[in-house]
Amino acid sequence: MTHRSRWVSAGLTVIAILAIGYGWRTAHYNSHFLSDTQIGGIQVGGQTAQQAAQTLKNKLANQTYTVKEHDNSLATFTSREAGVKAYSTTQLKQMISKQNSFSWPVHSDSASADDQRLSASALSDSDLTALAAKIKQSASTTDRTATHNAKLVYKGHQFTIQKPVYGTEVSTASIKAALTKAIENHQTTINLKDAYVKPTVLAHSKSLVSAKTKAEKLAKNQITYHITNHSIQVPSKDIASWLTTSNGQIATSKPKVKHYLTKLSAQYGTLHKTRHFKAHDGKTYKVPAGLYGWTINVSAETPKLSKAVLAGKPVTRTPVLKGMGYHKDGSDLGKTYIEVSKPEQHMWVHKDGKIIISTPVVTGKPVAGTTPSGVWDVWSKQRNAVLRGKNDDGSNYASPVKYWMPIDDTGVGIHDSPWQPRYGGDWYLTHGSHGCVNTPPDVVGKVYAAVPLHTAVVIY
């Protein structure tokens, strides 16, 4: 019984000693880092917060990094330039408070079980951005290939998915991300290849594969334009050529849609076009373009056509137009217009297909005051205006008129001229106007009343 008691007593003593030791070590790690702790690859195990702060400060203050590309050194910088900030004592105390001090036996023989990496919060964002921009500038001295996402292309009458291009281009953001990752992992050598901009849409992307299927369907949609008395169906191949992808989503190429509408406008529009005008006597005259005419408003119609393409539903529409003289029946001047013959010095007013006024006039005195030939537009109507300009001798004139109808953008118009003693014949050769169509006072009021705004004026 004596020996047994001795062994029991010894065992209890050992247990007590171990318990005291375990408790002491546990208490020790309430104020010290566990033995295997690393911060940013720097060993701080067993150190207090103050000791660890000094260790990190000394290590980070002397840390240098190298950026390489193809074994060539592109740049070197220090942790100070990168804006690396050592943790403060307070921050380190918070780290210690979060560790499990009771688990110290598990960590006693481990070299890297608790590697607390230098987090992004310990880096200066502004310093890192400035450093990345500087490295990008150095990298720009080398010719670089652009990175491209996988995309949908239409070629050979079919849609295919073009593989992405892994280029060598870099950006401030991509370099910054590579620097951050390297510093956080305590890597002192950084390969610029890790900073190459990577495509974000790959060939097997579900969104891109889905876009291909959708594009094939959209290209078959029927979009029809009604322009005057013409019906134009947009060709399927044209629709297909407009379709593209942006980040895997189907879209239209605005420049291509705009190009199509520009061609359509040139084909059917009347603005800036020479006309073959059939005069009052049945003769046909070639009349140059003037201000009168219409075109497709390409800027306004482009988004509407793009929207119709992406909607994928059959649609018939008249495009957005600008200018004047558009008639659904395909006629150009319509049935109401003014006709002026310079050789005959005569004006006819056509109203609803009939000549309601026929009068001699006086046009511009050749050569300086010649009335411009063309198809013009009554763009304004004014009563009791004062016309101002310069005479042939350079002096100024101010001529009051009762009726004023400007037709071009240089000051030429139709008005009464009480100063003219006669009209028609060859009077204009010596007493012609400065370009306007002088009209007898007893007739001009009837002309003013008969024609609405934007009536065409054909001068030949």
Catalytic option among 415, 431, 434, 454 = 415
Q: Which two tokens stand for residue 167?
A: 């280029």
CB 96, CB 32: distance < 8 Å? yes
Q: Which two tokens stand for residue 54?
A: 């000094």
Q: In the sheet that 114-116 helps form, which strands lie side by side, from edge to edge?
A: 42-43, 37-39, 114-116
Please, what sign has the CA dihedral across residues 103, 104, 110, 115?
positive
Distance CA 398, CA 376 (A): 24
148 is catalytic: no
How many alpha carbons lie under 13 Å from residue 368 in its C-beta half-sphere? Answer: 9
70 is catalytic: no
Distance CA 76, CA 74 (A): 7
Q: Which two tokens stand for residue 26?
A: 């546990």
Instruction: Tell me how many degrees the CA angle 10-14-16 measures, rounded to the nearest 5.
Output: 115
As annotated, the active-site residues are 415, 436
